[in-house]
Amino acid sequence: MSTFPTTARTTVRRLPKRGVYDKETVYSILDEGFICHIGFVVDGQPFVIPTGYARVGETLYIHGSAASRTIKTAASDGVEICVTVTLLDGLVLARSAFHHSMNYRSVVVLGKGRLVTDEQEKWTALRAFTNHILPQRWEETRPPTLQELKATSVLALPIEEASAKVRSGPPIDDEEDYALSVWAGVVPIETRIGTPIRDARMLPEVPEIDLNRFTRFQ
């Protein structure tokens, strides 16, 4: 199985048994999430900004407005950025308050981003953004105009230095606490698709959207 090289920055030190470095796990978490948080420092001030993203092969694409300070800063020469994605799978309720936890899957990607200037790569990234939300959505919608394309910036981050951290399973209590009469276990948390709400101005002949296309929730 292909793995990312462990570095001083990506090696999981707190509860190292939860660290996962194989590419299949990292990619699956990235592909399931919708929102990432991008962290960077400007003049000594740290910022962490939530935004949309998409993965294409071994590259993570992040998009924003052409006037976005986040994209401009993250694409600057020498600026190191950190991108994280976290999926919450459950609340872990222990017999003691100290041992309460959460089941989760998370990814950290570190590196230097670059501004996408090649027009073909930019189209590829925008298509990936749209289809990351809903498969085949790009193919059925109006593509961006040249003006919209100019108004959008895309940051590319190679997925070269990355790791995942995963917690699963029941609570782990102190041995003497297993005798306590306290409910313990896991409360699963799931992301589900609700009933679609038609836009009031949608043409009446347009059929309902096929929920089976939301493959990551099946």
Rounded to an integer, what distance in angstroms lies between the CA atom of residue 48 and that of residue 38? 5
The answer to whether residue 6 scores a pLDDT higher than 70 is yes
Domain 16-89+102-169 has CATH 3.90.79.10: no
Rounded to an integer, what distance in angstroms lies between the CA atom of residue 88 and that of residue 86? 7
- For residues 217 and 57, the model is more confident at 57
Rounded to an integer, what distance in angstroms lies between the CA atom of residue 18 and that of residue 127? 34
- Tell me, what's the pLDDT at 158? 96
Amino acid symbol at 44: G
pTM for this model (two decimals): 0.91
Confidence bin at 179 (pLDDT 50/70/90): very high
Cβ-contact 62, 53 below 8 angstroms:
yes
Residues 80-106 pLDDT 10s: 999 999 999 999 999 999 999 999 999
Angle at CA of residue 216, ends 211 and 218, nearest 5°? 65
Confidence bin at 218 (pLDDT 50/70/90): low
Backbone angles phi, psi at 149, to 5 degrees: -65, -40
**Of 76, 86, 216, nearest to 153 (Cα)?**
76
Rounded to an integer, what distance in angstroms lies between the CA atom of residue 68 and that of residue 154? 10
Backbone angles phi, psi at 217, to 5 degrees: -105, 10
Residues 131-171 pLDDT 10s: 999 999 999 999 999 999 989 999 999 999 999 999 999 99
**Of 101, 102, 105, nearest to 166 (Cα)?**
105
The pair of structure tokens assigned to 92 is 């872990």
**Which of helix, strand or coil describes residue 183?**
coil
The pLDDT > 90 percentage for the chain reads 73
Query: What are the start-end ranges of the H helices in 75-166?
Result: 119-133, 137-140, 146-150
- Tell me, what's the pLDDT at 31? 96
Q: How is the chain split into domains, by residue range?
A: 16-89+102-169
Q: Which has the minimum average pLDDT: 27-36, 83-92, 179-188, 209-218?
A: 209-218
The answer to whether residue 70 scores a pLDDT higher than 70 is yes
Confidence bin at 1 (pLDDT 50/70/90): low
